[in-house]
Structure 1
Amino acid sequence: MPPREVTVSPRNAMPEGYAFLKKGIQYKTLHSRRLTHAAGKTVYVVESNKKILGIRVPKDILSRVHTQANETRAARKLTTEKRDTATIRQAAAELDSQFSKIPEQDRELVLKHGFKKHSGRVGRTNLIPLARKVLYAVVAHIRHRHTNYDTLLDGGMSRDAAKKTIKKKLQETLRRWGNEQGRR
């Protein structure tokens, strides 16, 4: 039985009957891998300088995955939009619970910025509970919008020193908006 996955260089010859799928389309990568494994064939992971560029999978499987992706695109998009709307709705409810006195403009900015999809921001992680994500998003918002934190950094101050400098103002704002903990 051939190995399920083998790492190769882009300079390696393309195996006969295989095609390349570049990294970045999660649906296609996942399904191409799954179908290739199910067929008992090898997935070739193309890597250069320790960076994955994509995968090589059988052409017939990749063709089938492209077709499935096109056929299911609208339904997947709708599902994603529903999930994203639910995520923002849950974040808004938690924000209102923790910070009942936050001004509406700040509330909207926290939700829009802190929970922006594909941003890598704290609101998008699944590694911490929602209550903590909301707190961190509000702290970041206050730090960047209601203190001179960025100016201090631009002036050469270290992050830790700048955080200590603005800590009192940050805690006061957290308390004023409804968070009694006043952390960070």
Structure 2
Amino acid sequence: MAPSANIISRRHAPRKMGGRRKNHRNHKKTFTSPKSPQSILAQARRNSFTSRRGHGGLFGAGSSNKINHLERKAGERTWKYSKFGLIPRSTEPFEKNCFDREPYPPGYVFVPKGDVYVTRNCRTTTKKSERIVYTVYDKTGKRTLGIRIPSDVYAAVLESAAATAETRANAIKLRDEKDLAHSRQILCTKFPLMPVESLEAILNHAFLKGSGRVGRTATITDERKADLAVEAHIRHTHTPYESMLHAGTGREEARKAVWSLIQAIKTAWEGGSAQPIDVLALRNRMVESN
């Protein structure tokens, strides 16, 4: 009787509060690893495709401006991670940029930099025929090597260059002579007392075509070019500047030391108050002190 009584008592006993219940708070959360830019881009494309299909815009009939904007942004991100991301995209019509290691388009040839007439006419003729001009970059993407253009265009431009070579050479010669005469006139006007040998030396040095010196720059006025060219000539020829450098004097220190002598000689060549005897005396004192 005792066991059955215990069973009955357990059956009718009140249930304890707080029994086993599912506690959702104790469940562990699942964490996903960070997504790469490529996976994010792929998901954005899938979402864009699904959205267009749901709105009936799969074939462009009902696509919205917002979706097109997202596609453009996705294309820009794709460009960032592509192998061509080292060189800029060309914004000119009928022009593209490429690396030198990329294969040539059919019928195209390479034209290296150097001949301005050939390069300019190859580019212009190719674009007029509504074909692409490829600007070729080196492997670093920082320096251009030349262009790729159709072979028939290159042959025609080379033929034209050969036919006009003599005419163009004469035109260049006349232009150079005109530029030299203009520079001579500026120097003679600004420095009427300059010795002839100094005038010729300055013209053949500072104003030499292709030298890249001060007389050939286009960023300053003609008068300023004349001043700088004359000062440089006086510094290296009529002062102890070179001997000071050879003796170990610093460049800036040597320039400051001869500056007053340079200005005195330049003023004398301009016809100013400084007299040649004063200039020579100043120069002799500097030479003796060094």
Settle same-fold status: TM greater than 0.5: yes
Question: How far 1:3 sits from its partner (Å)?
Answer: 5.2
What SS is found at the alignment partner of 2:164? helix
One-letter code of the match for 2:96? Answer: V
What SS is found at the alignment partner of 1:21? strand
Determine whether 1:65 maps to 2:157: yes
Please give the residue correspondences for 1:32-111 in structure 2 after superposition, counting only pairs within 5 Å: 32-48=122-138, 49=140, 50-111=142-203
- 1:178 maps to what in 2? 270
One-letter code of the match for 2:125? Answer: L
Q: Spell out, residue by residue over 1:154-173, the C-alpha distance to the aligned partner (whole angstroms, 9 max, x if none).
A: 55544433321210111011
Partner Cα separation in structure 2 for residue 63 and residue 87 of structure 1: 33
Q: 1:15 to 1:3 in 2, by over 3 A?
A: farther
Structure number with higher strand proportion: 1
- 2:101 maps to what in 1? 11
Partner Cα separation in structure 2 for residue 158 and residue 6 of structure 1: 49
Q: Where in structure 1 are there 5+ consecutive unaligned residues?
A: none
Q: 1:142 to 1:29 in 2, by over 3 A?
A: same
1:133 to 222, 225, 231: 225
After alignment, is 150-159 or 88-97 more displaced? 150-159
What SS is found at the alignment partner of 1:64? helix
One-letter code of the match for 1:37? Answer: K
Partner Cα separation in structure 1 for residue 127 and residue 172 of structure 2: 27
Partner Cα separation in structure 2 for residue 157 and residue 9 of structure 1: 48
**1:99 touches 1:178 (CA, 8 Å); kept in 2?**
yes
Partner Cα separation in structure 2 for residue 148 and residue 5 of structure 1: 55
After alignment, is 2-11 or 22-31 more displaced? 2-11
Q: 1:152 to 1:52 in 2, by over 3 A?
A: farther
- 1:113 maps to what in 2? 205
Partner Cα separation in structure 2 for residue 169 and residue 125 of structure 1: 26
Determine whether 1:165 maps to 2:257: yes
Q: 1:33 to 1:158 in 2, by over 3 A?
A: farther
Question: How far 1:5 sits from its partner (Å)?
Answer: 2.1
TM, length-normalised to structure 2:
0.58
Please identify the structure whose Cα radius of gyration is greater.
Answer: 2
One-letter code of the match for 2:207? Answer: F
Partner Cα separation in structure 1 for residue 240 and residue 95 of structure 2: 51
Q: Spell out, residue by residue over 1:93-122, the C-alpha distance to the aligned partner (whole angstroms, 9 max, x if none).
A: 110001111111101000111111111011
**1:37 touches 1:43 (CA, 8 Å); kept in 2?**
yes
**1:149 touches 1:166 (CA, 8 Å); kept in 2?**
yes
RMSD of Structure 2 on Structure 1 (CA): 2.1
**2:193 touches 2:271 (CA, 8 Å); kept in 1?**
no
Identity among equivalent positions (%) equals 36
What SS is found at the alignment partner of 1:46? strand
What SS is found at the alignment partner of 1:127? coil
How many residue pairs match? The answer is 181
**1:98 touches 1:179 (CA, 8 Å); kept in 2?**
no
Partner Cα separation in structure 1 for residue 254 and residue 227 of structure 2: 19
Partner Cα separation in structure 1 for residue 245 and residue 165 of structure 2: 44
